[in-house]
Amino acid sequence: MQKIDKESEKNFLEADNFRINGDFTKAIEIFKRLLIRYPKLPPALNNLAMCYAGLNQLDEAEKYYLKCLETEPVSILSINNLAKLYFKSNQYHKALPYLKKSLSRKEDQLDVVEVIATCLFKLKFTKETDNFCREAIKKFPESEVLKNYYGKNLLRLNKHSEGQKYLNESTGVIEFGEENFNIEKK
């Protein structure tokens, strides 16, 4: 964290405590006062964005995550938080570049890999979903999410028997159109 005076550090911790306890309005007030003195303090910018996200003020949350990334472009926390904001608001096309950036900085993030697979599938990028999931399953063979999206995507590509195999492995359910059929796992 950027070097700040003791009083400001105390204010930061107080605001962060309000944020953790869900009092986002009080936390925002303190973080904003802190940013007057330290306008490019990444933890304050990131936490302020988290507060706005907690209040479902997504435009403000996005604004502060982007400010944080201007100051500290390699912050995996801020990259992931911005990607999560976009993902939760179904803006998969916006989430994807940030998720990929995060993964390029730190490869062993199963949760990020699974969200990338979800975005690719939801955006109907069938070839990219196929390639990504196939490679990701090699690295994370136990991921039910990856197997599920890979299987569903294989069905989209008319590779039905292979797709059914992955769906059965991941969920024990094979999907036919809008209907599901349960299959006992052995």
Percent of the chain exceeding pLDDT 90 equals 83
Q: How far is CA 136 from CA 96, 128, 131, in A?
A: 16, 12, 9
Write a three-state SS string for 19-58: HHCCCHHHHHHHHHHHHHHCCCCHHHHHHHHHHHHHCCCH
- Tokens read off for 86: 């976009």
Tens of pLDDT, residue by residue over 15-24, are 999 999 999 9
Q: Does the fold of domain 107-186 match that of domain 1-91?
A: yes
Tens of pLDDT, residue by residue over 53-76, are 999 999 999 999 999 999 999 899
One CATH from 3.30.70, 1.10.10, 1.25.40, 3.30.110 for 107-186:
1.25.40
Domain ranges of the chain: 1-91, 107-186
Q: What is the pTM of this model?
A: 0.85
Per-residue pLDDT for 102 more than 90? Answer: yes
Question: Could you tell me which residues are beta bridge partners of residue 26?
Answer: none
Once rounded to an integer, what is the mean pLDDT over residues 17-36? 97
Quickly name the fold that domain 1-91 has: 1.25.40
Per-residue pLDDT for 179 more than 70? Answer: no
Determine the Cα–Cα distance for residues 66 and 46; give it in Å rounded to an integer: 9
Determine the Cα–Cα distance for residues 52 and 48; give it in Å rounded to an integer: 6
Once rounded to an integer, what is the mean pLDDT over residues 155-171? 84
Determine the Cα–Cα distance for residues 142 and 60; give it in Å rounded to an integer: 37
